Structure 1
């Protein structure tokens, strides 16, 4: 699987990356053995980039990922983790579970927002301990939506110093919106943006500002949430979008997308996986999995050829704007398509 350098850094990301919220018990429990097997399946498929965070299962994802990669050559893979939420132990022994935050894990800790310089250093140190590593490759500011000023004035300079000292290889921001990451691209020297859910076959908010900004500055974008919380895997009444039941107009749009791709014999999830690579700023697509079967299906769909007529018909039916870049030509093997100018 091909890798791409992230921005101006020396860090590379594989075209597909494994998002590790699932092995942190996102919504449902996963056993230690299943988590290890999921990471192993990704490795066997050629995936060499793994994204985690303290938020995922209150550190469970980081612990499991570190254990699963132990023994692998350290220079052979890229690990991305996040900062901005400190995990503070709960004093009450009867703490229950963390399902209110989406994770089927014991609520042994609570999350405390902290984008101060000291908070960034403490968060990274704790992540390294959970991962069992002496370094990570990428550190992202995680969801600073309501903490923009502190993230820009305190957290970012701390990350910049860590990068200058060689403690981390690349720095950036990971969010579910495009406006604030675009501001980071304009006002800082980040290497990468992880954009979740806002540049997909269903919606292209990121195309208005963020992606052109990244391309113009030689920075990279990793796209997460390409299935829009599962809606583009199987659009039907009750399917989720942004972690809630999909509104009727959104569901209807997804069903129209499905009708077009099925007309060409292409699963909707295959088109959704391939679509972001049409933009030259996109370095990698990040997808979550909680089992080897899910990993293998993702890789199989990503490798599936997509006829150019799929993109043509999506444009003709008004489901993609005429100026939206798409992958051309679609390969018949797992190579990266050439990209239209953005």
Structure 2
């Protein structure tokens, strides 16, 4: 099942494939495993695939494109990102410390939200993907480059959209405040919001999501498992890329206990939760194997009883005013 992303004509599937994992995020996967993961996503009905130059210094784009090029171009949506240029680097070593990806450090990332930087980044992405176009381009993490992104990168993307080179413009971030500024002050189509509209963190609801619904901007929710804590809450788990605080772990375990009492895996509830808000068009999950893809698709397909959401609110694990879905088919 697909829907259009905000006011744009770009279709997205409810479940989106996040390709950071096949760019060797934190640990390596083989070319074959990456191909199997993307193929499994396609076979599970996923039609929206997201990548970025940042992911594995281009490895994610190359691996994703190798599979997508074999599929009917009119039947899938692909997004990539701009803001980091990859500059050749011969210093040796690997990228784990600098970028978090288990790849040789053949390039270094240079922040660039200029109009020229946007064009150079997009041209390089198309070469790595082996595609003649991408459907969505996100401004990637412009936290410390807001003015250049607003004054230079966004207008360039607006020109490319007007020319029909790209179908939609978005901003992708791990915070909700700056994306709200983009929604207020530009004509973007989408926000990729990571980790800020989940069972554990609803900061996106303060301003961004209501504003997006009002302005017709589509929201893609990433990080629904908050760095894996909501997939498997346990001591030693990570939350927002760091060690989980004790209080947050206790809350995650309480969420898990309620879900299990209703016969629902916590992963399933975490995937269903964002869709209760009318601005949310898709949930993007980073998967690195065919097994992870299959599990995610199965979790989203499972129905979640309305009684579960009622109990979460009764136990104040969700605030009374947070939108929650009724049973999802």
Q: Could you say which TM-score interval applies, normalised by the shorter chain?
A: over 0.9
RMSD over equivalenced CA pairs, Å = 0.7
Q: Tell me the distance in 1 between the aligned counterparts of 2:327 and 2:234.
A: 31
Corresponding position: 1:219 with 2:214: no
The equivalent of 1:96 in structure 2 is: 93
**2:212, 2:3 → 1: CA distance?**
15
| Structure 2 unpaired stretches of 5+ | none
CA distance in 2: counterparts of 1:302 and 1:152, whole angstroms: 35
Q: Offset at 1:4? A: 1.1
Contact 2:69–2:131 under 8 Å retained in 1: no
Shift of 1:274: 0.5
Residue 77 (1) aligns with residue 83 (2): no
Aligned residues: 328
1:125 counterpart (115, 123, 142)? 123
Correspondence 1:318 to 2:316? yes
The equivalent of 2:266 in structure 1 is 268
Could you say which residue in structure 1 is the equivalent of 2:57? 58
Name the structure 2 match of 1:297. 295
What is residue 285 of structure 2 aligned with on the other side? Answer: 287
Map of 1:147 onto structure 2: 145
CA distance in 2, matches of 1:45, 1:259: 29
Q: Aligned residue for 1:246?
A: 244
Following the alignment from structure 1 to structure 2, what is the Cα–Cα distance between the partners of residues 300 and 225? Answer: 18
Distance in 1 between residues matched to 2:296 and 2:283, nearest whole Å: 11
With normalisation by structure 1, the TM-score equals 0.95
- Please report how far the alpha carbon of residue 256 of structure 1 lies from its aligned counterpart in structure 2 after TM superposition: 1.1
Q: What residue is the counterpart of 2:227 in the other structure?
A: 229
Q: Deviations over 1:301-342 (max 9, x none)?
A: 1111111111000000111111111112322xxxxxxxxxxx
For 1:290 and 1:81, how far apart are their aligned partners in 2? 18
Tell me what 1:337 maps to: none
Q: Is the 8 A contact 2:176 2:203 kept in 1?
A: yes
The aligned residue for residue 14 of structure 1 is: 13
Q: Matched residues in 2 for 1:42 and 1:110: separation?
A: 30
Residue 36 (structure 1) aligns with: 35
Q: 2:186 aligns with which of 185, 188, 194?
A: 188
Q: Please, what TM-score do these two structures have when normalized by structure 2?
A: 0.99
Q: Deviations over 1:220-246 (max 9, x none)?
A: 000000000000011111000011110
Q: Which runs of 4+ in 1 moved over 2 A?
A: none
CA separation in 2, counterparts of 1:240 and 1:321?
24
